[in-house]
Amino acid sequence: MLKIVNEIKKELNIKKKKEIFNSVKIIPYIFVSPFIIAFLLFYLYPVISTINMSFQEILGPGDVKYIQFKNYINLFNHDFYDALIFNSWYTFWTLAVLIPLPVFLAVLLNSKLTIGKNFFRSSFFIPALTSVVVAGIFFRMFFGGMETTIPNTILKFFKIKPIVWTFKYHTAMMVLVIIATWRWLGVNIVYFLAGLQNISNDLYEAATIDGANFFQKFIYITLPGLKPVIIYVLTISIYAGYAMFAESYILYPNARTPGNIGLTSVLYLYQQGFDHNNLGFASAIGVTLLLIIFIINTIQLRFFGLFKKAGD
C-alpha cells in the first residue's frame, strides 16, 4: 500500500510540475527571470549603492561615515565645471557629425546606383570592432607634437608651425570628435540603413510620379521615415557623449593637463575615485552625471513628441 501511495504522490508531483511549466501565467516570468536577476544585481543594486555612497566619506574598509550633502556641495568646483563644459561641447559636436553624416552615407549605400555597397558597409563598420585602446594609442601618436607626424608635415608644407594637437583646447576637441566619428560612424550607418528598409518604395514611386526631385523626396519622405531611428541615435549619442572615458584616458595617460584640456566628467570621476581614493565624492559625480543625462534625454524626447503629457 505504501508503495502505491508513494507512486501516486510522485505522479501527482510530476503533473503539478508539468502544469507549472505549461502555465500561461508562470512561463513568461520564467523566461524573463534571467534578465530581471541580471538587472537587479548588475544595474539596480549598483545604482542604489552608488546613491548611498554619495552621502558617505569612505576612508577604507569598515571606515565609513555619513556626511549628508557635503560631497554634492563639493561639486561646485572649477574642475567639475571644466569637465562638464568640455563634455557638453564634445557631445554637441559628435551629434552634429554623427547624425547628418551617417544619414547621408546610409542613403547613398541604400541607393541602387551605388557600386560596391557591401564593401563600403563592411569598411565603415570595421572600426567598431577595433579596440578603443589600440585606436587611442594610434591617434595619440598620429596627432603628436613632433614635426614628423602627418598633420604637422602637412602644416610644415604650408609653412605653419607644428602644433601639439592634444594640448590645445580646440584641437584636442577636434581629435576626440575625429576618434568618435571613426569609431561610431559605421554603427550609426547600420541603424539608418535598417530604418531605410522600413520606408515603403511606393512612397518614392508616388513622389516620382508627382514630379518630386531627390531633395524633396529626402526631406518629405526619407527624414520623416527615419525619425524614430534618429531619435534613438540621438538618445544613445547623448549618453555616449557624457559617458566618454576611454578615448580621453588613452590620450591623456597622466590624467592632468594644462587648463583641464580633455578632462571629461567620467575621467574626473575616475581621478577622484581611484587616484585620490575619494569614492564618496566620485559617487556624487556619477549620480549627478546620471541626473544630467536623464534630464537632457527627457527634454529631447518630449521635444520630439515621444513623451506626451496626459490629455495631449
Per residue in 190-203, pLDDT (tens digit) is 999 999 988 888 88
- Alpha helices (H) in 223-305, listed in sequence order: 223-225, 227-242, 246-251, 265-270, 279-303
Q: The pTM is what?
A: 0.85
Closest CA to 130 of 184, 178, 194: 184
pLDDT tier for residue 106 given thresholds of 50, 70 and 90? very high
Which range has highest mean pLDDT (51-65, 66-80, 136-150, 151-165)? Answer: 66-80
Task: Tell me the average pLDDT across 271-296.
Answer: 92
* Amino acid letter, 78: H
Q: Report residue 296 as a C-alpha cell.
A: 537632457
pLDDT tier for residue 292 given thresholds of 50, 70 and 90? very high
CB neighbour burial string for 200-212, b if at least 16 within 10 angstroms, e if fewer = eeeeeeeeeeeeb
Segments making up each domain of the chain, as ranges: 2-53, 72-303
Distance set, CA 76 to CA 161, 284, 305 (Å): 38, 12, 34
- Asked if pLDDT for residue 182 goes beyond 90, the answer is yes
Closest CA to 50 of 308, 249, 291, 226: 291
**pLDDT, tens digit, 9 for 90 and up, residues 221-244:** 999 999 999 999 999 999 999 999
CB neighbour burial string for 97-116, b if at least 16 within 10 angstroms, e if fewer = bbbeebbebbbebbeeeeee
User: Whose grid coordinates read 500561461?
Assistant: 24
CATH architecture entry for 72-303? Orthogonal Bundle (1.10)
User: Whose grid coordinates read 580621453?
Assistant: 248
The pLDDT, as a whole number, for residue 1 is 55
3-state secondary structure of 141: helix
